[in-house]
Amino acid sequence: MEETYLLNVEGVKKKILHGGQGELPKLQDGSKITFHFQTLKDNFERTVIDDSREAGMPMEIIVGKMFKLEIWETLLSSMRPGEVAEFWCDAIHTGMYALVSRGMRRIAEGRDPLEGQKHRCGMGNMFDYHSTGYDDLDELQQTPQPLIFIMELFRVEEPSAYKRDTWAMSKEEKLAAVPVLHREGNRLVLRKEFAQAAAKYQEAVICLRNLQAKEKPWEDGWLKLESLVTPLVLNYCQCQLELGEYYEVLEHTTELLQKHNDNAKAYFKRAKAHAAVWNEREAREDFLRVAHLDPSMAAAVKKELKQLGERMRKKHVEDRKRYQGLFQPPRGP
């Protein structure tokens, strides 16, 4: 079955290779489309550029989330589940393909798709890159040309039918997800499942950071979101202390204290991390800062300083014995 259609889009032709079933899906913002694709050059050899089956997993896009190759949403909206179709697309629709393919290939290779990318619009980034890192994509970038896409549509899921990643949520959905993730993290902490709890706190922080990026720093909207971020970061750091990830704690508490240098709890957690990695001077300074900022924590600080002193004395004794053994001359027979 190979019927050719002209879609109501300039520069696009469709050929159905295998018919699908049911009605055309009704796409809405937030719908998830799962499909396999193959990209070919429009030449005599029909040279294959990309094939999602070789990557071992189908492609997924979220409708309305500004996927860089907008024409794909149009192509997929003309397909039924189970359908396989071939689309010829003129160069006016394929100019961004090199950047899209570059990102997909990096993901398949286990690399960061945004590695080295500048904070600019997609078109600006295109001109910034002298090379995509792939010869065939460099050619497409330098000489935009028609491409052929062969697609097999598996399914279309409504927004409520699947668990969406945080980046795919709307502002309202992210705000609603944060307290849920916070509670889930607290529940996991009570069960001493610290790694899983840390992941929940981290996901909530990502939601809020994404929203903060759209606000002007230190203005009301930004500050309101920051007040939600701070306890989540502290909870995350507590989980990392339990897991022995002390340098992770040092990184996040230091970043937090650069914005909020009066947060006693952040100093306390950083002090414990310093103590764990034998940074005695830094640990003592942070513990003393805690007692100054929050007198109610003085007893806890006193206890920690006592433990720190005992650990350091024990370490000095062990170090002395070790070094003495290194420098003693060997005994004769």
Question: pLDDT digits over 181-198, tens only?
Answer: 999 999 999 999 999 999
| Side chain identity at residue 170, one-letter code | S
Per-residue confidence (pLDDT) for residue 222, from 0 to 100? 92
Per-residue confidence (pLDDT) for residue 197, from 0 to 100? 95
- In this model, does residue 327 exceed pLDDT 70? no
- DSSP code at position 42: S
| Side chain identity at residue 230, one-letter code | T
Higher pLDDT, 238 or 31: 238
- Checking phi first, is residue 327 left (phi over 0); if not, alpha (psi -120 to 50) or beta? alpha
Confidence label for 9 from pLDDT (cuts 50, 70 and 90): confident
Confidence label for 153 from pLDDT (cuts 50, 70 and 90): very high
Question: pLDDT digits over 251-296, tens only?
Answer: 999 999 999 999 999 999 999 999 999 999 999 999 999 999 999 9
DSSP 3-state of 247? helix
Residue-averaged pLDDT of the chain: 85
Q: What per-residue string of b and e applies to 257-270 under the rule 16 or more CB within 10 Å gives b?
A: beeeeebbbbbbbb
Q: Domains in the chain, start-ordered, CATH in brackets?
A: 4-157 (3.10.50.40), 171-322 (1.25.40.10)
The mean-pLDDT minimum among 71-80, 109-118, 245-254 falls in 109-118
- In this model, does residue 128 exceed pLDDT 70? no
Per-residue confidence (pLDDT) for residue 70, from 0 to 100? 86
